[in-house]
Amino acid sequence: MDLTRLFTEHPSSLGESYTQHMRMSLSYAVPLLGAALAAFVHAVLPFLFEATASGSVKRLHARMTQRCAACPSGRLHQPDLFAGGADRVA
């Protein structure tokens, strides 16, 4: 498998370029990192961030469910569905 294909095969199967896929992935990763940090603080200090992590996960789940609704297998068969970018989905 050549190096270029390693970086483009999965994103193209979703109708995205490498940079589009990276941006979409980071739009999930950054809030998840924040949720993880809030959950860690909450574990030590339970009176802080009582609903922060769960609220973040619920919002991300709603986004992902809406994004994946195009196909039950999770594969996007309508790449133009997100032509407006991540902002249209959220």
The pLDDT value given to residue 70: 56
Q: Which of 15-19, 22-26, 46-50, 71-75 has the highest mean pLDDT?
A: 46-50
pLDDT at 13 over 80: yes
Q: pLDDT tens digit string along 45-89? A: 999 999 999 999 999 998 888 876 655 455 554 444 444 554 444
Between 42 and 62, name the one with better pLDDT: 42
Decide if 56 contacts 35 (C-beta within 8 A): yes
Decide if 60 contacts 66 (C-beta within 8 A): no
* Cα–Cα dist 46/81, whole Å: 41
Any idea where the domains of the chain sit in the sequence? Answer: 10-89
